[in-house]
Amino acid sequence: MNKRLIVISLLLILISISCEKDIPLKNGSTFTDEDGPTPYYLEIPDGFTEHRIPESNLLSKEGIALGKMLFYEPLLSRNQNISCGSCHIQENAFTNPKRLSVGTNGEESSMHSMALFNLAWQPYYFWNGREKTLENQALKPVVNPLEMDMTWPEVESRLNNHTEYPKLFLDAFGTEVIDSILVTRAIAQFEYTLVSADSKWDSYLRNEVDLSPLEEKGRLLFVGLQKGTGDCTHCHSEINPNIGDFVMRNNGLDSDVALKSGYSEVTGLSRDVGKFKTPSLRNLAFSAPYMHDGRFESLRDVLDFYSEGVHFNLTVDPLMEFATDGGVDLSEESKDALIAFLLTMSDSNFLTNPEFADPNK
């Protein structure tokens, strides 16, 4: 055998040995390197159910760190002037105070931005629930002309030509070849870690603190089912620690002529017109304005609506029991108490957790 053949056969042997050591890993990729990404287990807070993180995108420390960089990366937008974090701001529970958000070209988004937390427990995403996975959701703002206005090939080329990203993808996913699938997997990994479960309400559920008399009065109104109480728990279920069951409903915001398409865009059914995802009521202290179009500036406005502004429209939810007479009819004192109760679900540590902050700041 000549020298060259010996070298080649040695190489082949080496390759086959190292192949045996391949660690079949998450995300469908294999690492020939024993120090592949470090698995990360997302803890389930007390009282929460099992999360819905897909087998195809199990979390790793490297994936989460990369996802955080990408979440705050302006290269994902046409004019390199906005990132996901521009419309989803940590101090606003990852929504933002504008009624409609401003995209890369200075135009306004069509809906109010959504607060982002406890996403690992949600069955679908967007106000009308049109995306079933967080990974797919992240594809959309990048190509939305009112938001980041890019194409995925352009994003991929910017990231593949970047000085740092290929190495970070190698560490997280075992390949330097960056594509939209891996970008959105990494972003989703970071988003799954945005857990908010550290409010006074959580301590109350763990029997660690009492509510004040006003907050307790508000809690009773929240779960009350008669007229003059809130009747909120029918949809924003009190048992679910997220205080929302995410079901698609029409809560009577508009008259028939003003009804938006909502969930019917997903199902094509006229009975789903005007239905939107029932949101979590956590962190309302930080996430104004409220509803899919941000129409209410304060919780007072929200309660005035549920009290006396409800429309009995074509698809209003049967659980809006008092829609035929305009609402539940709350006294001003009852509104004060309900607001005090809702504010027990504020988790200010979530807003200041450095794990979630822009790594470039």
Interacting residues with ligand HEC (CB under 6 A): 76, 82, 84, 86-88, 101, 103, 109, 111, 113-114, 116, 119, 122, 125-127, 134, 137-138, 141-142, 147-148, 187, 191, 230-232, 234-236, 249, 251, 253, 276, 278-279, 281, 284, 287, 290-292, 302, 306, 317, 319-320, 338
Q: How far is CA 35 from CA 141, 173, 335, in A?
A: 34, 12, 56
Given the complex with ligand HEC, which of 134 and 182 has the nearer CB atom? 134
Given the complex with ligand HEC, which of 197 and 232 has the nearer CB atom? 232
Nearest distance, CB of residue 319 and ligand HEC, angstroms: 4
- Long-range contacts from 171-179, C-beta under 8 angstroms, 24+ separation: 171/37, 171/62, 171/66, 172/37, 172/60, 172/62, 172/63, 172/65, 172/66, 173/27, 173/29, 173/37, 173/63, 174/25, 174/27, 174/29, 174/30, 174/31, 174/33, 174/36, 174/37, 175/29, 179/152
Nearest distance, CB of residue 42 and ligand HEC, angstroms: 16
Nearest distance, CB of residue 277 and ligand HEC, angstroms: 6
Provide the residue type at 226 as one letter.
Q
Note whether 271 and 333 are within 8 A (CB): no
Nearest distance, CB of residue 67 and ligand HEC, angstroms: 9
97: cis peptide before it, omega within 30°?
no
Q: How far is CA 79 from CA 64, 84, 113, 148, 360, in A?
A: 25, 14, 20, 8, 19
Given the complex with ligand HEC, which of 58 and 284 has the nearer CB atom? 284
Note whether 84 and 63 are within 8 A (CB): no
Nearest distance, CB of residue 51 and ligand HEC, angstroms: 14
Given the complex with ligand HEC, which of 173 and 263 has the nearer CB atom? 263
Given the complex with ligand HEC, which of 36 and 200 has the nearer CB atom? 200
Nearest distance, CB of residue 18 and ligand HEC, angstroms: 36
Note whether 303 and 335 are within 8 A (CB): yes
Given the complex with ligand HEC, which of 141 and 174 has the nearer CB atom? 141
Nearest distance, CB of residue 207 and ligand HEC, angstroms: 24
Given the complex with ligand HEC, which of 200 and 249 has the nearer CB atom? 249
